[in-house]
Structure 1
Amino acid sequence: MKDLRRLKYFLGIEVLRSQLGIFICKKKYILNLLGETWIIDCKPAETPMIPNQKLYMKNEADLADKGQYYRIVGKLIYLSHTQPDIAHAVGVVSQLMHQPQVHQMEAAMRIIRYLRKITGYGINV
């Protein structure tokens, strides 16, 4: 067993200690996700999802890259553990993973654009 001192970073979660308690966030994880999707300098979205947006399977719609959609939604699911404000939007886009279409990929990318706005947010424990 090895003593690695105070925890600072683990599985994409940054841990900061102060007099007020422990603050956990995923700033680096979000920045890596923005870089992976090539929208690091994008205009941030105000909300993670368009209000009252309904996602469903459209007939004869263009299909999105299934592998990329899986990676993005998987990372968003992991991210929603410390960002509860995106949980509903991530749940909606994750329901249609069997055959992702372009408008569903756009909804997932909107969540990422929203994350650009809240990069430094986290949870105080």
Structure 2
Amino acid sequence: MTGNDKEEISTLKSNLFKEFEMKDLGKLKYFLGIEVLRSQQGIFICQKKYTLDFLAETCMIDCKPAGTPMIPNQKLYMEDEADLADKGQYQRMVGKLIYLCS
């Protein structure tokens, strides 16, 4: 909860504690992959930690940026006896990228 009326926030929290089992975790710092930073200029959010964790998980932390991450006009083909990629890992990676970009 946020606001400029500390008394109203305190009353609201008291009422919520009466109705629901919950605890006050203090000022928000990190939630659902989003970092929350406070300064005199205001509140800022970013996903730097989430992005770095994703790059580390995919072993791409040391990769360099590229305008096109593959050879242009590359002919793609499917090898008949190649091992299939891990479907679950692929789905998790795509889900994380979608979350990061939305």
Percent identity at matched positions? 68
Deviation of 1:60 (Å) = 4.2
TM-score under structure 1 normalisation? 0.48
Query: Which amino acid in the other structure matches residue 35 of structure 2?
Result: E
Match of 2:98 in 1: 77
Deviation of 1:46 (Å) = 4.3
4+ runs of 1 displaced by more than 3 Å?
A: 58-65
Q: Are residues 1:33 and 2:54 paired? A: yes
Consecutive unaligned residues in structure 1, runs of 5 or more: 82-125
Greater gyration radius:
2
- Residues paired across the two proteins, number: 75
- CA, structure 1 residues 35+59, in 2 after alignment: closer, same or farther (shift >3 Å)? closer
Selected match of 1:45 from 56, 66, 90: 66
Q: Distance in 2 between matches of 1:60 and 1:76?
A: 25
Selected match of 2:44 from 23, 31, 34: 23
Consecutive unaligned residues in structure 2, runs of 5 or more: 1-16, 18-22
Answer 1 or 2: higher relative contact order, Cα 8 Å, separation at least 6.
Answer: 1
TM-score under structure 2 normalisation? 0.58
Q: Distance in 1 between matches of 2:66 and 2:41?
A: 30
- CA, structure 1 residues 40+20, in 2 after alignment: closer, same or farther (shift >3 Å)? same
